[in-house]
């Protein structure tokens, strides 16, 4: 299979990486109010009717009635509550969605920033975790939230959006543009369907002008087209489909070491902006590249860096010549426009070397070639000397020696017999010279060989005169064969050098990967990575890994290298932002080191730094791909090491939990039989006196409390073992509360119970036995942590699309920040009066409630001292007997 018809291995790997992952569909809009959320809910409802398991992770209706109505019929995963600066805020409960594991989850506002304290700082990171778990996601985003367009939008709207997301998030997503004309959106804004009237008036003046909306609309459509074009190219590469497929424009600009390349890149940026097309800056490495001086190599690196700053992708491609490299790259990139520079060359130069531009126009059909003039000054003295030299002196000396040796051999053969045609032997030094020392040395050797053959073997010998015309033809043919053989041998040599360079790089990567397989500790990996990169690239290296106190230096090459304050700041920035920092990047360029994040699995694991002892750029453009490849391999190896350590810890925790469950199960079962006997005996006993009756009642109350404790132990074991079975059925809240209060009559004796449960409440769909245990534990908890003279309030209220049952006491309440921890197994809350008990009751409540698909939370009362525990019933758990408000 030829190279052009072979599927792109990287595209196949990227396609394979998507296997098992969920699909992301993004509803892209130009501005708020175009109907993205409404369209997402409509599409989700259609999928649900088709039999797909769909839930709502988070949807922001912003009070819009038509969007609110679309929520009916969906299962809504309750949100998690996070306390932040004295306020309780709600976010999508990522763990609950992962545990529920639907086929499709609807997550609104992809660019949303989560409340500090959540697992991820951004909602799109929550979505990426859902996708990694194999769950499909529908989400919404406005075009101004894309990082690449943030500055563009701010330039004409005068409003800079602070919540942004990287463009990579939507690169592999299915995009549906939700679009309405600007006039219609403005009418919706005036009608109060987007913002409340006060905010709508301000928005009309600042953001929602017709010109702004038209520009945003164009950006949204173009960005969607670019995403579709990128996905099409990925499919073409993975399936080896030939052709340009010019559904959209794609630009390539050729970068060289000449001083005018920077202007060429800026011109390519202007053309790209005019065509709204993606573009790539490519540098073709030829054998002549090895002759470049340090200044010219630095200029190539600076030009490619400029292209990166202007928004281009950059690439470096080895090839035997510039034309062949550009032809291959334009085919691989499916380019429709090629931008090259043409410097002023003499006619004689073009006759000898040909015109690169003419060959590109002739050999790249289907590609528009833009030729821009370049003003090139005189090359540096070092380059002029190299360009004017005709090879090394060593090559000429060796070649002359070979010619002399062949001449002696031919003279011996010539005098020993009647063999006269010895001219072909003079091709041997020509081939050797061209193969070892290059084309020019081979041509000179060919001329010398022809002259030697003429002088010593063509009559009259000893002169350069040729009497026989046939000998003239022999000499000319010998000279022509020598030149052609020199050229072919030189080409083979150049290809061999390129192949050797590529093989050396591949061998280095393969050897490094083999060494990584033997590492078991982060310190070993760090020393190996620093030593290998330092040896291969000739640089100083350091590796920093996160610790509780911050980034710490874990390895260095040479080992004595240390970092100053500015280098440490650059390393922290690279770690926190997952971007390069330091010299050669866009951030903190005052640092002498270049820091690259060491990432794997979507998270940053450390930071790797490189520097040179001189003032040169730490990593040249031709070395950067190899460095990134080494870091990718090291990141995967470090992730493997960390996962192995985590798995060892998990195994220890799992064994500890198994032993605890076994112990609790054994104790609870051993206590159940004697407790049953004790309770039966106390129930049959008849008191002989009033004092004895009180003692029997007290003993029976304590035995019943111990029996409930043993039952709690058994329930906790069943919850943690996943062996909890339930059977949901309609339950009347009033009857359930009355039954729980009756079973706790001895515990609640003498205490006032305030019941605030409206008679028209709908039935709830729960497991009666589990729900009964929940109420008993919550009531017993309220009685335990409040004075006997204070009442306990039980209230139930209907809210929009939900019902809430609350149990309130008048005790000391919960310490701030401990509202979630009270539900942990064996939790002992320090700093409060809530220290008694085993800490099982509330943990069992949480386990039972979540098993029934409900949600429970705890908070302090706002109207009086005390704690409030609430069980939330969503619409799916309410019997449709009474309409909801």
| Backbone phi and psi for residue 445, each to the nearest 5 degrees, phi listed first | -65, -35
Task: Say whether both 670 and 744 belong to one domain.
Answer: no
- HSE-CB at 320 with a 13 A cutoff on CA atoms is 11
Task: Quote the CA–CA distance of 592 and 619 in Å, as a whole number.
Answer: 12
CB 838 within 8 A of CB 827: no
155 and 99 in a single domain? The answer is: yes
For residue 37, being part of any structural domain is answered with yes
Last residue of a domain, one of 723, 757, 784: 723
Q: How confident is the model at residue 201 (pLDDT cuts 50, 70, 90)?
A: very low
Please indicate, yes or no, if residue 245 is contained in any of the structural domains.
Answer: no
Residue 793 is predicted with a pLDDT of 93
Mean per-residue pLDDT for 206-227?
A: 74
Instruction: Verify that 574 and 681 share a domain, yes or no.
Output: yes
763, 718: one domain? no
pLDDT at 120: 83
Is the domain of 212 the same as that of 259?
A: no
pLDDT for 870: 93
Sheet holding 792-799, edge to edge: 753-756, 792-799, 802-808, 867-874, 855-860
Residue whose tokens read 């005019």: 274
Q: What is the CATH number of the domain that holds 337?
A: 3.40.50.620
Residue that wins the pLDDT comparison between 208 and 729: 729
Q: DSSP state, 462?
A: T
Q: Which residue has the higher pLDDT, 249 or 229?
A: 249
Residue 224 maps to which CATH number?
3.40.50.300
As a whole number, mean pLDDT of residues 168-192 equals 80
Q: What is the pLDDT of residue 249?
A: 77
pLDDT of residue 382: 43
Say whether pLDDT at 762 is over 80: yes
- CATH code of 662's domain: 3.30.450.40
Question: Is the pLDDT score of 176 beyond 70?
Answer: yes
Tens digits of residue pLDDT in 339-383: 888 776 656 655 555 677 777 877 777 788 888 887 654 544 444
Mean pLDDT, residues 13-19? 60
Token readout for 258 is 């000449």
User: In terms of domains, do 129 and 201 share one?
Assistant: yes
Arithmetic mean of pLDDT, 525-538: 83
In this predicted model, what pLDDT tens digit does every residue of 441-496 receive, in sequence order? Answer: 877 887 788 788 778 877 777 777 766 666 677 667 766 776 777 677 666 766 66
522 located within any domain: no
pLDDT at 884 over 60: no
**In the Cβ-directed half-sphere of 843, how many Cα atoms lie within 13 Å?**
20
More confident call, 27 vs 249: 27
- Please give the DSSP secondary-structure letter assigned to residue 290: G
- Evaluate whether 26 touches 173 at the Cβ level (below 8 Å): yes
pLDDT at 573 exceeding the cut of 80 = yes
Query: What pLDDT was estimated at residue 383?
Result: 46
Same domain, 405 and 331: no
506, part of any domain: no
Query: What pLDDT was estimated at residue 807?
Result: 94
Asked if residue 246 has pLDDT above 60, the reply is no
User: Which residue among 449, 479, 495 closes a domain?
Assistant: 495
Domain ranges, residue 448: 394-495
- Per-residue confidence (pLDDT) for residue 236, from 0 to 100: 62
Res 697 pLDDT > 60:
yes
C-alpha span between 766 and 596 (Å, rounded)? 54
The yes-or-no verdict on residue 831 having pLDDT over 50 is no
317 DSSP β-pair partners: 284
Residue 552 confidence (pLDDT) above 50: yes
Specify the pairing of strand 313-318 against strand 753-756.
Answer: unpaired
| Cα distance between residue 659 and residue 99, in whole Å | 25
User: What is the structure's pLDDT at 130?
Assistant: 92
Mean pLDDT value of segment 803-821? 87
Tell me, yes or no, whether 123 and 224 share the same domain: yes
Give the pTM.
Answer: 0.42
Residue pLDDT, tens place only, 247-273? 567 889 998 888 888 888 888 888 887
What value does the mean pLDDT of the chain take?
A: 77
Question: What's the CATH code of the domain at 803?
Answer: 3.30.565.10
595 and 661 share a domain?
Answer: yes
Number of domains in the chain: 5
In a domain, 734, yes or no: yes
- pLDDT of 107 > 90? The answer is yes
Residue 523 is assigned to a structural domain of this protein: no
Residue 162 domain flag? yes
Poorest-pLDDT segment among 92-96, 188-192, 345-349, 839-843: 345-349
Tell me the C-alpha distance between 130 and 97, whole Å.
Answer: 8
The more confidently predicted of residues 605 and 623 is 605
Residues 68 and 162 in one domain: yes
| Mean pLDDT along residues 692-711 | 75
Per cent of the chain over pLDDT 90 is 10
- The Cα 81–Cα 105 span in angstroms is 19
Is the distance from CB of 474 to CB of 431 less than 8 angstroms?
A: no
Listed residue (261, 280, 399, 265) closest to 330, CA to CA: 280
| pLDDT beyond 90 at 191 | no
Averaged over 753-773, what is the pLDDT? Answer: 89
> Cis omega before residue 558 (within 30°)?
yes
User: Within this chain, do residues 552 and 696 fall inside the same structural domain, yes or no?
Assistant: yes
In a domain, 399, yes or no: yes
Q: Which residue among 694, 723, 752 closes a domain?
A: 723
Residue 726 DSSP one-character state: -
Please give the C-alpha separations between residue 433 and each of 3, 352, 388, 454, in angstroms, as whole numbers.
Answer: 32, 22, 19, 20
The pLDDT-based confidence of 204 (bands split at 50, 70, 90) is very low
**Tokens (6 digits) for 138:** 């529908």
Listed in sequence order, the residues at least 6 apart from 577 whose beta carbon sits closer than 8 Å to its beta carbon are none
Q: Are residues 623 and 655 in the same domain?
A: yes
Residue range 586-620, pLDDT digits in tens: 677 778 888 888 887 667 888 999 888 776 677 77
In the numeric block, which tokens belong to residue 548?
């509780």
Q: What pLDDT band is residue 57 in, cutting at 50, 70 and 90?
A: very high
């Amino acid at each position: 299979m030829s190279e052009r018809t072979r599927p792109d291995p990287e595209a196949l790997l990227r396609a394979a990486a998507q296997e098992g992952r969920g699909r992301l569909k993004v509803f892209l809009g130009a501005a708020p109010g175009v109907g993205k959320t409404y369209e997402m809910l409509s599409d989700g409802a259609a999928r649900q009717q088709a039999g797909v398991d769909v839930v709502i992770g988070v949807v922001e209706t912003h009070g819009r009635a038509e969007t609110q109505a679309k929520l009916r019929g969906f299962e809504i995963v309750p949100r998690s509550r996070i306390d932040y600066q004295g306020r309780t805020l709600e976010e999508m409960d990522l763990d609950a969605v992962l545990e529920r594991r639907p086929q499709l989850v609807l997550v609104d506002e992809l660019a949303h920033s989560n409340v500090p304290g959540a697992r991820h700082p951004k909602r799109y990171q929550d979505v990426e975790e859902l996708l990694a778990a194999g769950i499909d996601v529908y989400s919404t985003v406005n075009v101004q939230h894309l990082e690449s367009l943030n500055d563009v939008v701010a330039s004409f709207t005068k409003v800079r959006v602070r919540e942004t997301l990287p463009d990579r998030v939507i690169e592999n997503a299915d995009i549906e543009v939700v679009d309405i004309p600007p006039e219609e959106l403005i009418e919706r804004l005036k009608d109060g369907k987007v913002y409340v009237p006060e905010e709508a008036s301000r928005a009309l003046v600042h953001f929602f002008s017709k010109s702004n909306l038209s520009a945003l609309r164009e950006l949204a459509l173009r960005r969607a087209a670019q995403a579709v074009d990128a996905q099409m190219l990925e499919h073409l590469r993975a399936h080896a489909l030939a052709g340009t497929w010019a559904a959209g424009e794609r630009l390539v600009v050729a970068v060289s070491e000449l001083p005018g390349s920077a202007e060429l890149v800026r011109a390519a940026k202007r053309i790209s902006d005019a065509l709204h097309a993606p573009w790539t800056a490519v540098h073709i490495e030829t054998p002549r590249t090895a002759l470049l001086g340090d200044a010219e190599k630095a200029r190539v690196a600076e030009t490619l860096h400029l292209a990166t700053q202007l928004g281009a992708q950059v690439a470096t491609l080895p090839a035997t010549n510039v034309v062949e490299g550009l032809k291959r790259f334009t085919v691989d990139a499916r380019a429709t426009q090629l931008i090259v520079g043409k410097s002023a060359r003499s006619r004689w130069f073009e006759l000898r070397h040909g015109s690169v531009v003419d060959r590109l126009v002739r050999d790249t059909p289907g590609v528009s070639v833009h030729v821009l003039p370049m003003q090139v000054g005189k090359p540096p003295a070092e380059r002029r000397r190299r360009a004017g030299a005709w090879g090394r002196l060593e090559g000429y000396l060796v070649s002359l020696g070979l010619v002399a040796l062949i001449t002696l051999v031919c003279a011996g053969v010539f005098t020993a017999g009647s063999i006269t045609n010895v001219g072909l032997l003079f091709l041997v030094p020509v081939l050797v010279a061209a193969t070892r020392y290059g084309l020019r040395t081979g041509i000179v050797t060919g001329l010398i060989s022809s002259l030697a053959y003429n002088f010593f073997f063509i009559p009259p010998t000893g002169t350069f005169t040729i009497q026989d015309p046939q000998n003239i033809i022999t000499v000319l043919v010998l000279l022509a064969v020598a030149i052609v053989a020199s050229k072919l041998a030189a080409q083979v040599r150049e290809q061999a050098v390129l192949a050797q360079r590529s093989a050396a790089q591949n061998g280095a990567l393969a050897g490094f990967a083999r060494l990584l397989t033997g590492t078991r500790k982060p310190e070993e990996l760090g020393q190996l990575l620093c030593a290998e990169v330092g040896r291969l690239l000739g640089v100083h290296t350091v590796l920093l890994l996160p610790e509780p106190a911050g980034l710490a230096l874990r390895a260095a090459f040479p080992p004595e290298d240390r970092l100053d304050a500015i280098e440490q700041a650059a390393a922290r920035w690279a770690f926190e932002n997952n971007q390069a920092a330091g010299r050669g990047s866009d951030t903190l360029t005052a640092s002498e080191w270049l820091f690259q994040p060491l990432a794997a699995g979507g998270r940053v694991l450390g930071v790797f730094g490189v520097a040179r002892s001189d003032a040169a750029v730490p990593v040249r453009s031709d070395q950067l791909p190899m460095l990134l490849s080494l870091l990718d391999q090291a990141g995967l190896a470090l992730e493997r090491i960390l996962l192995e350590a985590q798995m060892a810890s998990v195994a220890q925790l799992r064994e500890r939990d198994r032993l605890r469950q076994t112990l609790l199960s054994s104790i609870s079962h051993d206590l159940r039989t004697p407790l049953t006997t004790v309770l039966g005996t106390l129930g049959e006993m008849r008191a002989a006196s009033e004092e004895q009756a009180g003692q029997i009642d007290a003993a029976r109350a304590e035995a019943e409390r111990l029996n409930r404790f043993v039952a709690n132990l058994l329930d906790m074991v069943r919850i943690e073992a996943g062996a909890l079975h339930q059977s949901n059925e309609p339950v009347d809240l009033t009857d359930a509360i009355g039954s729980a209060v009756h079973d706790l009559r001895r515990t609640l004796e003498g205490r006032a119970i305030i019941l605030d449960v409206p008679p028209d409440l709908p039935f709830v769909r729960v497991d009666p036995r589990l729900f009964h245990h929940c109420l008993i534990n919550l009531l017993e908890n309220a009685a335990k942590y409040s004075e006997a003279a204070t009442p306990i309030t039980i209230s139930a209220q209907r809210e929009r699309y939900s019902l809430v049952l609350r149990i309130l006491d008048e005790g000391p309440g919960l310490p701030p920040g401990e509202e979630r921890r009270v539900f942990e197994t064996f939790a002992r809350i320090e700093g409060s009066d809530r220290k008694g008990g085993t800490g099982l009751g509330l943990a069992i409540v949480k386990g039972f409630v979540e098993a029934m698909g409900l949600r429970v939370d705890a908070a302090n009362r706002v109207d009086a001292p005390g704690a409030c525990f609430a069980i939330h019933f969503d619409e799916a758990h309410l019997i449709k007997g009474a309409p909801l408000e």
